[in-house]
Amino acid sequence: MASITLEKVSVSFPIYNAATRSIKNRLIQSATGGQIRADRGSNRIAVVQALQDIDLRLQSGDRVGLVGHNGAGKTTLLRVLAGIYEPNEGRVSIDGSIVPLFDISLGMDQESTGYENILLRGLYLGLTRAQIRARFDEIAEFTELGDFLNLPIRTYSSGMQMRLAFAVSTSVAPDILLIDEGIGAGDAAFIEKANARLKQFTERVSIIVLSSHSEALIKSMCQKAVLMQHGRLIGAGATQEVLDQYRALRAGNVG
């Protein structure tokens, strides 16, 4: 049984650049982004409060959409869930294997062949060489790239690279899948194929957390949603309710 529990989780980033001087000892609240404040006890380092007091409990079967304006903390929250950022305060406990799908073309080596990149991406996902070899044919077939797999991927179009990355990333189902933004994938025919595979793939995953600006995508994939603003969690519940709340919030900001 996969599960995710966050208790009073806060994350703040130290900013070590020169620009910090102008904002020292000042508290700035801007419309986008988290909160910028001077660090307590230090007048030199500015701190961006990216997440504040997040409580979240997810269980097997949950499909959760993350919504909020740019810089509301969605990506940071996903990184906390992935175990990349350990929070400054609060407790995180996660059961189950996690695969973060943030940047789908992460770490691809342009000079290496398609096959070598399948291997590389598989290793990123935590597979062993033997496991990847066993999946080679299936992945190669899905990409429909044929002989191109023997060429360095710098010769590929971006759609072709996307196919490759997508095929490897969806070849193993983890317990928990974290997705940042939508996965766009190539031409229309492939999108259909990709959607079918994504559906099959996500059915085997216990928990999905999806961050996206596309209401349609969130509605189609998630039965729950979470609304974030300035690093705080300001709404959670059924997808439609939260999306309505988000819309009202945006209307309020404009008017």
Partner 1 sequence: MDIIAGWRRRELWTTLALHDVRQRYRRSTLGPFWITISMGVMVFALGLLYGQIFGQDLTEYLPFLAAGFVIWGLISTVILGGCQSFIAAEGLIRQLNAPVSIYAYRELWSALIAFAHNIWIFLAVAWWYDVPMNWSLLWVVPALLILLVNGFWISLMFGLLSARFRDVPLIIGSLVQVLFFMTPVIWRPEMLPERALFLQLNPFYHMIEILRAPMLGQTPSLENWLVVLSIALVGWGITLFFYSAYRWRIAYWV
- Using CB under 8 A as the criterion, which residues of the chain lie in contact with partner 1 when the complex forms? 13-14, 79, 82-86, 98, 100, 102-103, 106-107, 109, 111-112, 119-120, 123-124, 126, 128-129
Give me the least distance between CB of 188 and partner 1, in Å please: 28
Q: What is the DSSP letter of 152?
A: B
Task: List CB contacts of 133: < 8 A, sequence separation 6 or more.
Answer: none
What gap in Å lies between CA 112 and CA 180, rounded to an integer? Answer: 26
Nearer to partner 1, 83 or 146 (CB): 83
Give me the least distance between CB of 229 and partner 1, in Å please: 22
Nearer to partner 1, 28 or 106 (CB): 106
Q: Which of 124, 172, 165, 171 is nearest to 145 (CA)?
A: 165
Nearer to partner 1, 74 or 227 (CB): 74
Helix residue ranges per DSSP H, 23-93:
74-82
Helix (H) or strand (E) holding 226: strand 224-229
CA distances from 197 to 33, 125, 206 (A): 35, 18, 16
- Nearest 5 degrees, angle CA 166-CA 154-CA 126? 40
What gap in Å lies between CA 249 and CA 255, rounded to an integer? Answer: 10
Give me the least distance between CB of 7 and partner 1, in Å please: 17
Nearer to partner 1, 104 or 242 (CB): 104
Give me the least distance between CB of 61 and partner 1, in Å please: 22
Give me the least distance between CB of 100 and partner 1, in Å please: 6
Give me the least distance between CB of 230 and partner 1, in Å please: 19
Strands 207-211 and 176-180: parallel
| Token pair of 185 as six digits | 């994938």
Nearer to partner 1, 100 or 235 (CB): 100
Nearer to partner 1, 87 or 235 (CB): 87
